Chains A and B, each alone.
Chain A
Amino acid sequence: MKPKRLTKAAIFLENQDLRARLDDVEEMLRAIGRGEADALVIENGAGPKVYTIEGDEAEANRFRSDMLAMVSDAIVAVDDNERIIYVNAAAERLYGFPASSALGRKLAEIRTSHWPSPEAREAAVAMFRDRGEWHGDHVHILNDGRIIDIESSSTKLRNGYGGLGGRLSVMRDVSARKKHETQVAISETRYRRLFESAHDGILILNPGTRKIVDANPFMTQMLGYSHAELVGRELFEIGLLKDESASQEMFQKLRATRAVRYDNLPLETRAGQHQDVEVVANLYDESGDPVIQCNIRDITERRRAEEHVKLLMAEVNHRAKNLLAVVQAFAHQTAKYGDPANFTEQLSDRIDGLAAGQDLLVRNHWMGVDVADLVEVQLAHFKDLIGTRVLIDGPPALTLNMAAAQGIGMALHELATNAAKYGALSNRVGRVHIAWRVTDAPKPTFSMSWQESGGPVVAPPTRKGFGQIVIGRMAEASVEGRAEMAFRPSGLSWDLSASVENTLVSTGSRVQMRTGNDAR
């Protein structure tokens, strides 16, 4: 390049210009030295270029940035176009993206927001638009499929990069807390349901004031007080403990042993009704506060059942002893009237007859015995002859009462034994005809007969044996009726008749007794 020749005046002007620029540079350097400048703009052919100069302000900025990085909540800033312009370390961890690859990308590329409803989303957008901020919960679905509950706080950026707007969001992962809350809610529902539907009364008490804090519906039913009436009262005021001193005693015991149990307390309901209850009280710690739970169970039914069992046991004992007394009397009579050589056989035979009748009674719940069943059982030894040599003839479904069943049963047993030994069943051709019926005139009468034929010729007995007493006066006494025996040569006959009232169980009363039992 050939040097340009300059005039003296031009050289003077250039010198002036250079001196002014040198002054500017000197002034700028002084400003940098004083910390008053933080950037240099150098213009050249390519345009202006900015060179930043680090100073106190920049240090403050770096300090702020370091703080944001240390915050455990995720912080993300986006510009007006939803492009990520800042992420802190917590946000990198939350979304699994390093800042280097997140910056400049659209927020929607690294996660999807999920709202409980379109309305919830619209409300959030509107709030942000109107107030410039929004706080709330929503769900983020990440690219790897993870779903996280987010508690978020967003603020509008007024001076973003280059004076543009944008949004700064601080987000916290509350998935663990939400999960816990859900579990607590499920647990609460479950135990609340138990409390509400329990068929035991439950009271929650404050150990300090001894007052009721809560009561379940069964408790209100049991006592006849509403929930509002129970809350705030003491136990002795609702008829559970007899007085204040009993209440104090219970709380003292609870504090000492943490548990109290009363097997049987008389509870008086609001209506004045009496109930027997079992009370179990426990002292618990509820997040640092002591609380007492009382379970109250109505044991009236259980006590009634226990009483019933006791009564039944007494009855069984009474009947067993009576039966033993009968056996004792049998032994005595058998020894007195019978042949000593046959004592054991005769007594065993009679006890068998008693036992058979007993089985029938028990089978029918002591309610009586069907006549046909009784005949069949007492003639069990001759069941092969029934229909041929033993003819049974009578209406079905007639039930003898207990006394009649025992008296007639014993008589049939004696008659059958006698027939087998000496009468119609002692040879190969004799017959026994057993019949019973109910007649109405002149008053309802039950009659039964035993008629033998075809046996050896019968002669009247020379002395009265025990068998005769059984089929005679004992059968009569059992039905308050009449028994007649005839020793005709053609065969023995026995006729018993008594009022229906003293002999049979009416079907109606039988049904009633059964119902009564079932109701217990």
Chain B
Amino acid sequence: MTHDSQTPRVLIVEDEPMLAYALEELVIEAGFQIAGVAGKLDAAIEIIDRGVCDAAILDANLKGVSAGPAAEALKARGVPFIILSGYSQDQRHMDFAGAIHLQKPCRPERLIEARRSILLVP
């Protein structure tokens, strides 16, 4: 993937292929680049560790596995991220403090809006 240093690179961590694809399209349409798409926790952490992403969208639950460690890795690198989950507020059992939470299903505009706000781009 070629890297245009002007365009922020976004990592998508989502176990549902259809959603991963839809998010990818959305992110590209909004003018960002894709840093990578991961459906599993270890794949996500590998991409984060390569230091190639400027922001991330995290599904809270990856086939029954919490995306918490990926969130920790992002925090450690100071990479802003958005949490996307199907759980309601009271059912959320992971602490993703400081992140923006969006509920599935989520309107594309809201996601892009959140994306821009965390990347501080207009």
Point out the residue from B16, B39, B87 that lies within 8 Å of A317, measured CB to CB.
Answer: B87
- A11 at interface by CB-CB < 8 Å: no
Interface residues on B, range: 20 to 34
Cα of A473 to Cα of B87 in the assembled complex, Å: 27
Is B22 touching A329 in the complex (CB atoms < 8 A)?
yes
- Note all chain B residues with C-beta closer than 8 A to A328: 22, 105
Candidates B17, B104, B105; contact of A407 at CB < 8 Å:
B17
A319 to B104, CA, bound (A): 10
Contact A322 B21 (CB under 8 A): no
Instruction: Enumerate A288-324 residues with CB–CB distance to B below 8 Å.
Output: 313-314, 317-322, 324
How far does the alpha carbon of A473 sit from the alpha carbon of B22 in the complex, in Å?
Answer: 12
State whether A314 touches B105 (Cβ < 8 A): no
Whether A322 contacts B19 by the Cβ 8 Å rule is yes
The answer, yes or no, to whether A333 is at the interface (CB within 8 Å) is yes
Q: Is the interface of A mostly helix, strand, loop or mixed?
A: helix
Q: When the two chains form the complex, which single residue of B15, B18, B37, B103 contacts A321, counting CB atoms closer than 8 Å?
A: B103
CB-contact partner of A325 in B17, B37, B61, B106, under 8 A? B106
Q: Which residues of A contact B108 (CB under 8 A)?
A: 332
Residue A403 interfacial (CB < 8 Å):
yes
Q: A332-B108, A403-B63 are in contact. Are A317 and B88 (CB under 8 A)?
A: yes
Which of the four size classes fits the interface of chain A?
20 to 34
Q: In terms of DSSP, what is the predominant structure of the interface of chain B? A: mixed
Least Cβ–Cβ distance between B23 and chain A, in angstroms: 8
> Counting CB contacts under 8 A, is A486 at the interface?
no
A474 B86 Cβ-Cβ under 8 A: no
B39–A320 CB distance below 8 A: no
- Alpha-carbon distance A475/B18, docked complex (angstroms): 9
| A455 CB, min distance to chain B CBs, angstroms | 28
Give the nearest-CB partner of A330 in chain B. B18
Report if A477-B39 is in contact (Cβ < 8 Å); known contacts: A322-B16, A328-B105. Answer: yes
- Within 8 Å CB of B16, what residues of A? 322, 325-326
- By a beta-carbon cutoff of 8 Å, the part of chain A in contact with chain B is 313-314, 317-322, 324-330, 332-333, 402-403, 407, 410, 469, 473-475, 477-478, 480
A-B pairs with beta carbons under 8 Å apart, 12 shown:
A314-B87, A314-B91, A317-B87, A317-B91, A320-B86, A321-B104, A325-B19, A473-B21, A474-B18, A475-B17, A477-B17, A477-B37
Binding site for A on B (CB under 8 A): 15-22, 25, 37, 39, 61, 63, 85-88, 91, 93, 103-106, 108
